[in-house]
Amino acid sequence: MQPNIPDSSQKRVVIIGAGFAGLNIAEKLSGKEVQIVLIDKNNYHQFPPLFYQVATAGLEPSSISFPLRKVFQHKNNVHIRVAIVQNVSPLTNEVITDLGAIKYDFLVIATGTDTNFFGNKDIEKFAIPMKSVSEALFLRNRILSNFESALSCSTEEERLGLLNIVVAGGGPTGVEISGTLADMRRTVLPKDFPELDFKKMNIVLMEGSPKVLGSMSEQAAAKGKEYLEKLGVTVRLNTRVKDYDGQYVTLDNEERIRTNTLVWATGVKGNVLQGIDPAVIIKGRIKVDQYNKVESYSNIYAIGDVSTMSVEKFPNGHPQLAQVAIQQGKNLAKNILSTLNDKEIKPFKYLDLGSMATVGRNLAVVDLPFFKFQGFFAWVTWMFVHLFSLLGTKNKLFTFINWVWNYFTYDQYLRLIIKPRRNPSEIQ
């Protein structure tokens, strides 16, 4: 196979990764006097802040995904290739993929992060992460399948293992999925499974630090914990998951919790490509200068979660947030065009627009630069911001309809167990 990128007199910008960072730089460069090659292992852009809603049957995967070819349908200078990048060859200015080698004049690494299991093979084998739409869908299948199995199990211990859910990680993802599961336990699941006693279902959130929502204000963290406990979530602070065998979670104090479902929402590591000098890799992220250029390279850049830029306000790198990735993508696009036109380039300066997290129905926390608030208005604000951040009018409309339906009916109607067949011989 060959990538078959057409020859062009224009400079070629190869972008690896179609997340927030990669998509934004590609959009800003589309229609300009450059040739763009956008490489991703998927043919769609996905919206990570709403993965937990797919996992809890609130949204379909298609509602938070958008085809890349649709985004660039009328941009003739953008060439999309669905491929796996194997390594980078800076000496020859090539990206080596499973389709073959792709030459570049400028290389932009926007590969984001993946789940970090910190070397624990058992947790990696049995826990369920949420770093992609497919993993969120897998978690949805697991949770619903467990409830179905709980109807037929022979012992109370086995039933509790199927009902109980442990979430490791008290960041926004862990808080949001814990709160949503608690809402479902109260309003949805008893209607679907009247034979099960959901008062016995335990939802436990583990956080290794002294507070949940550690990247947010003390006020937001305190309210987040209060809201979770109000919903019946057991919050364990200063507690880490040490091991997991598929049936028992072992904590760092050797306590064991019976559960068949451990959601791993803690720890990320940069998707660093082979071929990049290990000397510029700092704690799993690629070290860049104030223009997002990778140190010791003249035409390789890294943006978004995979990069780390040390500045006075963020000596250990910017927070791994969508807004950082979006802003870096837009700034780098301008700088590449400025470089080609012999104009002055501008250093990246992060404009903090705030952060937010939803905890449950009518419950959220919002930290804006000059204003912090919680409760129902914060929840409405969270919904408004995330709704309009989705790509595509159709996705916005379907998501809005789902949210309105769920709100007034106390019901998510997408509780389907959809498991792919591995091969035709399994079809009976």
Rounded-to-integer distance, Cα 338 and Cα 244, Å: 52
Task: State the average pLDDT over residues 138-161.
Answer: 93
Q: Domains of the chain: which residue ranges?
A: 12-41+83-115+268-340, 121-266
Tokens 């369920």 correspond to 128
Dihedral angle at the C-alpha atoms of 264, 266, 269, 271, nearest 10 degrees?
50
Longest CA–CA separation in the chain, Å? 74
- What's the whole-model pTM score? 0.91
Q: How confident is the model at residue 423 (pLDDT cuts 50, 70, 90)?
A: low
Q: Which fold has domain 121-266?
A: FAD/NAD(P)-binding domain (3.50.50)
Q: Say whether 236 sits in a helix, a strand or coil.
A: strand
Contacts 24+ apart (CB under 8 A), 257-260: 257/164, 257/166, 257/202, 257/204, 258/157, 258/160, 258/161, 258/164, 259/161, 259/164, 259/165, 259/166, 259/202, 259/204, 260/146, 260/161, 260/162, 260/164
pLDDT (tens digit per residue) in 258-277: 999 999 999 888 999 999 99
Q: Are strands 100-103 and 241-244 parallel, antiparallel or unpaired?
A: unpaired
What is the percent of the chain with per-residue pLDDT over 70, rounded to a whole number? 97
- Give the residue from 21, 5, 94, 6 showing the smallest Cα distance to 320: 21
Rounded-to-integer distance, Cα 309 and Cα 331, Å: 14
CA atoms within a 13 Å half-sphere pointing along the CA-CB vector of 71: 25
Task: State the average pLDDT over residues 97-124.
Answer: 94
pLDDT (tens digit per residue) in 55-106: 998 888 889 999 999 999 989 999 999 999 999 999 999 999 999 999 999 9
The per-residue pLDDT of the chain, averaged, comes to: 92
Task: State the average pLDDT over residues 149-167.
Answer: 94
Model pLDDT, residue 109? 97
Q: Is the pLDDT of residue 359 over 60?
A: yes
Q: Is the pLDDT of residue 422 over 70?
A: no
Residues annotated as part of the active site? 176
What CATH number does domain 12-41+83-115+268-340 carry, 3.20.20.140, 3.50.50.60, 3.90.550.10, 2.40.50.100? 3.50.50.60
Q: How confident is the model at residue 425 (pLDDT cuts 50, 70, 90)?
A: very low
